[in-house]
Amino acid sequence: MTARTVRGTVEFIWDDAGHMLVTMDPEDPADPHTFELGGPLRDRLAGSLEQGDRVEVDIEAVPHEVLDPDSGPSESLRAEVLDVRVVR
């Protein structure tokens, strides 16, 4: 899969116990809007990322198994975050 960049404005940040969830209003409504950050990337952004910040998020689509109680497991894609940059 190839990496690409999503741009938008941070709307909501939830940060707890080493995991951060960021929801943004993307420039292109078809782009992903919610991202999970962990590890060194989360540590770098904790305390500096704020609601209203303009950001560029580098993502890569990776396979992800989804379990539906009615139809069983199926393959899907989810956005894995490679980097986040605040654009000021």
Looking at residue 8, what is its pLDDT? 97
What is the residue-level pLDDT of the chain in tens, covering all 88 positions? Answer: 689 999 999 999 999 888 999 999 999 999 999 999 999 999 999 989 999 999 999 999 888 788 888 887 788 888 899 999 999 8
Q: Which domains does the chain have, with CATH numbers?
A: 3-87 (2.40.50.140)
Looking at residue 1, what is its pLDDT? 62
Q: What Å distances lie between residue 39 and 17, 18, 28, 65, CA to CA?
A: 11, 7, 28, 22
Tokens read off for 57? 């998020």
Looking at residue 88, what is its pLDDT? 80
C-alpha span between 6 and 8 (Å, rounded): 7
